[in-house]
Structure 1
Amino acid sequence: MSAILVLLGYGIGGYMLLGSSLSSAAYLTMMTLTTEGSSAADRLSTGGKLFTASLAVLGVAVFVAALGVAGTALVEGRFGPRGRMRRMQHRIDTFRDHFIICAYGRVGQAVAREFEADGIPFVVIDSKAELEEVMQRDKVAYLIDNASSEQVLRRAGIDRARGLVCAVDSDAENVYITLTARALNPAIAIVSRASEPASVDRLARAGASSVVSPYVSSGRRMALLAVRPHIVDFLEFSRPGTSDCRLEEIRIAADSHLLGRPLRQACKGVLPLLVRRADGTLLPRPDPDSALHPGDTLIVFGDLGALRPIEE
């Protein structure tokens, strides 16, 4: 804008110095800059014609420069970092009942692969810009920012999320993220990672629904493989994406069509293994004639075709 004003001042001032009135100078300047031309230009002196030529060249140069700036801004807005993040935010805004994964290290990536195998939508938050290429390669929805920020968690849709996984290497940061997330969404399920044994209690008091220590979990898994290998094989066999059969957890909502139905009717085609009542009571090998109540959690095993109607 300033370049255009300078150009107008240059043209009007130059024509006035050559003897034109203010109105004529403004007219000649506008005709030259818009490349319309004017018959009055033919009556100009040699100096006037040279000035008109210089004004035309300057006008074309400013126009080309302005066009380049506008084109660059358009390309950056559509294909550059800003445009990419706007499209990513629009994608995240469509998510409902999703999970938020804080940190995309080895643990976070393993969690993401499990969610992908089960068809569960999720958003990754990581402050490390060098991981952006990895997240783009994996085609995950992500935000490059601080996961402990309330604003960032809101952008990730925490108010409508189903759960949050804290997989940051720092226990202190996991505690802070857990506190912030619990304050923003009291009903959200939070699974947090603890590297140190002392952090387990801190995370639980901060509001974590479950706390996992990778080292303890690895030790337990190794012990199970040594003592009960067939149980581990069964659990691996029933993981999403590994077979047509799997274990599934179904929470009975207040408006569920399964309410009041006996298990033999509610679980057609699948095997009910366990019922956890709303008060925490466990019913292993539940009676086929027992009914389901609001807040119950049903653990079943069966093929996908039989599980789908129950899940829906």
Structure 2
Amino acid sequence: MAKLEPGGREGVLSLVSLPRISLSPFKELARRTALALLILMLNTFIVWLDRDAYIDNTAGDGVQLLDALYYSTVTMTTTGYGDITPVAAHARLMNVLVVTPLRIGFLVLLVGTTIEVLTKEGSRSIADLFWRRKMRNHVVVIGYGTKGRSAVNTLRRQGESPEKILVIDQHASAVADANFDGLAAFQGDATRRELLRRAEISKAKQVIISLDRDDTAILTTLTVRQLNPTAGVVVAVREHENVPLVRQSGASSVVTSSETVGRLLGLSALGPELGTIMQDMLTGAEGLEVHQRLAEPHEAGQPPSAVQGERVIGIIRNGTLRRFYDQTAARVEIGDELIVVRRAQPPVRDAKHILGAFDPDS
């Protein structure tokens, strides 16, 4: 569904862009304009071809090509000045059988386009309202570049519903990509409070900030944290020296992209297999992946090594991470969250999310 206006413009109401496959509005408008001109030219040709059956009551000099175009224009628009009229019986019959249906088609095309535009804008506003009312405990991803898209893919592989993921990006192409991937999206500047409010940022459970500039990421983190003091805010930065600033801005977790890539390069240089294993766990598309889940009741009381089909590398208990070598993590307890390495699960893509699960017209 096409968006109305970028959320970053002053005084413009930003509406959510929901997944839907549709024609470009400019192509559709051009198609309808061409069809209207074709109807007008066809009517002009019919009148000019039978020009001897018409009379010009004003000039009295016959009907020329320009007169035929003039007659067709006032006829198609139902203006009807009456200065040029058909006088022959067959010309009047032609007007009844051919020209009148063309006139009706022209009016339906003209009025229908206007009504459709108004209807679409109204339906977008209604869809935006219903979307905002039901959006709770969702994940907001700010920046849908390579990092943001990878984060979303990881969330979906971990079982997060696409209906609970919202994208914010300044670029129209990124919003279109998010819609194609089955995600709702806003286009605009994420440092603007109004846009974040319309994205229901205050009700989000997680916010992922993956922008290209560290200074923008810091400002966005400050704005997000002011609007939502409790959500988890994960921020990606390029430079390590900016990590303290991001943490002071309110980030729950900070990932240094350049340092992470550099470490992976170093490990790959030490041993290609080591680099392969690390990249394997980071990508999660095949091979191995890292997963976090609640402990099952039958696992309570057992050592982490007894968990079947997975390797426990950490336990989160009472909000504290205990690594596998920690003596306090010798037994799994009810309520623990386990961080495990397991075989990567194949991605599950539901076609309805791509073809328009959010589309109110579908």
TM-score computed with the length of structure 1 as normaliser: 0.60
Matching of residue 99 in structure 1 with residue 139 in structure 2: yes
Q: Which one has more relative contact order, counting CA pairs under 8 Å at least 6 apart?
A: 2
Q: Where do residues 171-210 of structure 1 align in structure 2 (5 Å cutoff)?
A: 171-210=214-253
Contact kept in structure 2, 1:272 and 1:286, CA below 8 Å: no
**1:87 to 1:132, Cα distance in 2 relative to 1, 3 A:** same
* Correspondence for 2:72: none
Identify the residue that residue 39 of structure 1 maps to in structure 2.
none
Of 313, 330, 340, the match for 1:300: 340
Partner AA of 2:301 in structure 1: P
CA contact (8 A) 1:92 1:123 kept: no
Aligned counterpart in structure 2 of residue 162 of structure 1, from 188, 194, 205? 205
CA offset at residue 276 of structure 1? 3.8
Distance 1:299 1:199, change over 3 A: same
Residue 117 of structure 2: aligned partner:
76
CA contact (8 A) 2:299 2:307 kept: no
1:89 and 1:155 in contact (8 A); partners too: no
Corresponding residue to 1:125 among 168, 193, 199: 168
- The alpha carbon displacement at 1:207 in A equals 0.5
Alignment of 1:32-71 (within 5 A): 71=112
CA distance in 2, matches of 1:297, 1:85: 41
Contact persistence 2:221–2:246 (CA under 8 A): yes
Question: Separation in 2 of the partners of 1:73 and 1:149?
Answer: 33
Distance between the aligned counterparts of 2:268 and 2:252, measured in 1? 27
Aligned partners of 2:239 and 2:258 also within 8 Å: no
Q: In 2 relative to 1, CA 160–219 (structure 1 residues): closer, same or farther, beyond 3 Å?
A: same
The equivalent of 1:112 in structure 2 is 152
Alignment match, 1:42: none
What's the secondary structure of 2:331's corresponding residue? coil
Report the equivalent of 1:242.
286
Match of 1:143 among 186, 195, 218: 186
Question: Which range moved further: 285-294 or 103-112?
Answer: 285-294
Partner AA of 2:139 in structure 1: F
**1:272 is aligned with what amino acid?**
V
- Cα separation, 2, equivalents of 1:106 and 1:89: 30
Match of 2:183, as an amino acid?
V
Could you tell me the TM-score, scaled by structure 2's length?
0.53
| Maintained 8 Å contact 2:264/2:279 | no
Q: Distance in 2 between matches of 1:184 and 1:230?
A: 45
Change (3 A) 1:275 1:131: closer
- Residue 261, structure 1, aligned to residue 310, structure 2: no
Whole-angstrom CA distance in 1 between matches of 2:274 and 2:123: 49
Ranges in structure 2 where 5+ consecutive residues have no aligned partner = 1-77, 81-103, 346-362
Q: Does 1:152 align with 2:192?
A: no
- Conservation of the 8 A alpha-carbon contact between 1:191 and 1:208: yes
Distance 1:189 1:248, change over 3 A: same
* Residues 105/220 of structure 1: CA separation in 2 closer, same or farther (3 Å cut): same
- Aligned sequence identity (%): 23
Q: 1:271 to 1:105 in 2, by over 3 A?
A: closer
Give the number of the structure whose alpha-carbon radius of gyration is greater: 1
